[in-house]
């Protein structure tokens, strides 16, 4: 019985000796914390006093776990962008420095997810699983780290892939008026990357929730969410979130690029981004310039789009292709923000509301659209037909204007107009229906060979669909050469044209039977029978059959 108290005494002595040693080893440390005070709160911004050691674009923690970014660092106060619900913030509330800049979660765990620019999940599937975070503002790749654009980025749109080609690592601007199909082109480009080894990031900036939900539904329906990340800043979010959204999306895409993968990023749209930045700048009392935009409006977009490139092979060989979208007003391409982005990017796809109203979809104005570097990456089969096709289409658009006024046209002009109408009909394409490369090349070669010229216009859609299906019969070795060859050989061209000609045979009109000779004249040598009634003169000729002056 006496052993139990002895053991208990030993345990107590051991515990107290350990506590005394820990007390002797403990050295209290003071961690300095800078605390500031809110002086005023406005729409999307807050003015803060104190925090003398804060840096530019450093994160600030407000009450209620609301984050802000130090945007104006003046001698007496700080102007901060608010990145959350600021309804509960009031003057006199305390704020605290975080000692870090704004960053976002990156990695494969984001694929298939819908997040906001802060990295919070919006799809109701739980928190985002990511172990790596990168700053949203990062320097662009150095010039010596970049590789030439040499690999095509297929969009699945015939008019784009043939006439306005895009390469991996390129920046191609999409601009047009409201409701002309800008987002549809970008979404179709994302859908076409399925099984192509390309990851996609779709960044919605200041969009309506219904429009974003529709885009997400289209991507889910076609199985594109498996390789896509969606970053959303809705129209009712604070302007600070709309401002940081494209930078956060670019950091997510850059992480994939630096691991050696090809990435396509869509900014929808940078007009809302520029307006959010203008709103914040005016609230922070920054001096306005043209159209009330601040003087550095060019820089916020140039430093964003300069991050899109193709890396050298020793750096992984990844690429980041950008499709920024801009909204114009009354087709005014010379406005401030559109001209800025035209000068920053490597080409533009211009959409025409007049073509949209005529039912030409996608409503791309080929004459105003251009790709400055994509032609170097275009496949040889496209290059073999693209030049003649674009010239014929441009001639058709010019001649069509004169034809509308009832001008008298000769036979060659009428043939050019009929050929151009069939080019336009073949370049028409339904939304969310990307066309594979072999089918595109078959249709384009058939157009170049004039096989569609004798097809009636009311049967053009059916004829094109037939040629599309016939492309599946292209020999396997020919299909491989279409993907890899530097030049389209005459044998391969003849093979594809023969397949298209067989497919279009049922759509060719039956030959008209000529007038039968009389029985009396049938046996007379040198006798030529003529129809009883004289034919009517052709359009553009006088009664004698000569060309009208």
Could you tell me the CATH number of the domain that includes residue 95? 2.40.30.20
Domain holding 65, by residue range, is 35-100
Regarding whether 124 and 89 lie in a shared domain, the answer is: no
Number of domains into which the chain is organized: 3
Q: How far apart are CA 422 and CA 157, in angstroms?
A: 17
Token reading at 63 = 């009450």
Question: Is the same domain home to 312 and 420?
Answer: no
Predicted local distance difference test score (pLDDT) of residue 412: 87
Q: What is the CATH number of the domain that holds 233?
A: 3.40.50.300
**pLDDT at position 513:** 54
Q: Are residues 228 and 370 in the same domain?
A: yes
Is 12 within the bounds of a domain? no
**Assigned domain for 520 exists:** no
Tell me: do 176 and 68 sit in the same domain.
Answer: no
535 within some domain: no
List average pLDDT for each run of 10 residues in the chain, which is 549 residues long.
59 83 79 89 94 92 94 93 93 94 95 95 91 94 95 95 95 96 97 96 96 96 97 94 97 97 96 96 94 94 97 96 96 94 96 93 94 89 87 88 76 90 94 94 93 92 94 91 83 94 87 54 44 46 46
Residue 528 lies in a domain: no
Per-residue model confidence (pLDDT) at position 530:
44
Do 161 and 147 belong to one domain? yes
Give CA–CA dist 483/438, Å, rounded: 9
Q: Is residue 545 in a domain?
A: no
Which residues does residue 43 pair with via DSSP β-bridges, in sequence order?
Answer: none
Residues 230 and 329 in one domain: yes
- One domain, residues 83 and 143: no
**Taking the C-alpha atoms of 51, 296, 244 and 341 in order, what is their torsion angle to the nearest 10 degrees?**
-170
Is the domain of 178 the same as that of 225? yes
CB atoms within 10 A of CB 417: 17
Residues 323 and 371 in one domain: yes
Largest CA distance in the chain: 150
Whether residue 320 is found in the same domain as residue 204: yes
pLDDT for position 26: 77
Burial of 432 (0-12, 13-18, 19+ CB in 10 A): middle
Indicate whether 234 belongs to any domain: yes
Q: What is the CATH number of the domain that holds 445?
A: 1.20.150.20
Cis peptide before 360 (omega within 30 of 0): no
pLDDT recorded at residue 514: 54
**336 and 262 part of one domain:** yes
Phi, psi angle pair for 65, to nearest 5° = 60, 30
Provide φ and ψ at 279, rounded to 5°. -60, -45
Give me the half-sphere count of Cα atoms (radius 13 Å) on the Cβ side of residue 107: 11
> CA 53, CA 56: separation in Å to the nearest integer?
10
Question: What is the pTM assigned to this prediction?
Answer: 0.86
- Residue 283 CB: number of other CB atoms within 10 A? 16
Distant-in-sequence, close-in-space partners of 255: CB < 8 Å, separation ≥ 6: 106, 107, 132, 134
Decide which of 72, 100, 128 is a domain's last residue: 100
Quick one: CA dihedral 479, 382, 364, 422, positive or negative? negative
Per the CB < 8 A criterion, the answer to whether 492 and 514 are in contact is no
**44 shares its domain with 115:** no
Q: Which pLDDT value is given to residue 510?
A: 67
Residue 206 lies in a domain: yes
- What SS3 string covers 65-98? HEEEEEEEECCCEEEEEECCCCCCCCCCCEEEEE
Q: Which residues contact 273 (CB under 8 A, 6 or more apart)?
A: 205, 206, 242, 243, 245, 246, 267, 300, 301
Residues belonging to the active site: 372
Residue 20 resides in a domain: no
* Residue that is last in its domain, among 377, 405, 422: 377
Q: Which secondary-structure segment (H or E) carries 232?
A: strand 228-234
Domain-terminating residue out of 346, 377, 408: 377
Backbone angles phi, psi at 271, to 5 degrees: -65, -45
């Amino acid at each position: 019985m006496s052993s139990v108290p002895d053991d208990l005494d030993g345990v107590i002595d051991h515990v107290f000796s350990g506590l005394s040693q820990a007390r002797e080893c403990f050295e209290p440390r003071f961690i300095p914390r800078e605390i500031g005070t809110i002086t005023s709160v406005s729409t999307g911004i807050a003015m803060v006093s104190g925090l003398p050691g804060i840096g530019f674009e450093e994160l600030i923690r407000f009450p209620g776990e609301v984050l802000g970014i130090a945007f104006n660092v003046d001698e007496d106060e700080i102007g901060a962008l608010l990145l959350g619900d600021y309804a509960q913030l009031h003057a006199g509330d305390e704020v605290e420095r975080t000692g870090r800049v704004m960053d976002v979660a990156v990695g494969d765990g984001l694929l298939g997810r819908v997040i906001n620019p802060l990295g919070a999940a919006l799809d109701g599937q739980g928190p985002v699983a990511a172990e790596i975070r990168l700053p949203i503002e990062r320097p662009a790749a150095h010039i010596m780290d970049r590789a030439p654009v040499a690999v095509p980025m297929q969009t699945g749109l015939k008019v784009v892939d043939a006439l306005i080609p895009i390469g991996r690592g390129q920046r191609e601007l999409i601009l047009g008026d409201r409701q002309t199909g800008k987002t549809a082109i970008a979404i179709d480009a994302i859908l076409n990357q399925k099984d192509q080894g390309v990851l996609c990031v779709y960044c919605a900036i200041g969009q309506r929730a219904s429009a974003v939900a529709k885009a997400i539904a289209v991507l889910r329906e076609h199985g594109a969410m498996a390789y896509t990340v969606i970053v959303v800043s809705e129209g009712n979010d604070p302007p600070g979130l709309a401002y940081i959204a494209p930078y956060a999306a670019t950091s997510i895409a850059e992480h994939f690029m630096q691991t050696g993968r090809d990435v396509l990023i869509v900014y929808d749209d940078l007009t809302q981004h520029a307006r959010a930045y203008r709103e914040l700048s005016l609230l922070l009392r920054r001096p306005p310039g043209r159209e009330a935009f601040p003087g550095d409006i060019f820089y916020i977009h140039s430093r964003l789009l300069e991050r899109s490139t193709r890396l050298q092979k020793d750096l992984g060989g990844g690429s980041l292709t950008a499709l920024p979208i801009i909204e114009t007003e009354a087709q005014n391409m010379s406005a401030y923000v559109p001209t800025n982005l035209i000068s920053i990017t490597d080409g533009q796809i211009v959409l025409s509301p007049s073509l949209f109203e005529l039912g030409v979809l996608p409503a791309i104005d080929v004459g105003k659209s251009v790709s400055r570097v994509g032609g170097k990456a275009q496949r040889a089969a496209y290059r073999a037909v693209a030049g003649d096709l674009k010239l014929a289409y441009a001639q058709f658009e010019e001649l069509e204007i004169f034809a509308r006024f009832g001008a008298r046209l000769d036979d060659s002009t009428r043939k050019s107009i009929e050929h151009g109408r069939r080019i336009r009909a073949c370049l028409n394409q339904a939304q969310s229906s990307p066309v594979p490369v072999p089918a595109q090349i078959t249709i384009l070669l058939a157009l170049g060979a004039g096989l569609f010229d004798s097809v009636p216009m009311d049967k053009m859609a059916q004829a094109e669909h037939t040629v599309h299906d016939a492309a599946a019969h292209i020999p396997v070795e020919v299909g491989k050469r279409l993907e890899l060859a530097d030049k389209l050989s005459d044998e391969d061209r003849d093979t594809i044209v023969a397949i298209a000609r067989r497919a279009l045979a049922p759509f060719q009109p039956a030959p008209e039977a000529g007038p039968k000779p009389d029985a009396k004249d049938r046996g007379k040598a040198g006798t030529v029978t003529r129809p009883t009634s004289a034919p009517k003169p052709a359009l553009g000729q006088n009664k004698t059959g000569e060309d009208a002056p």
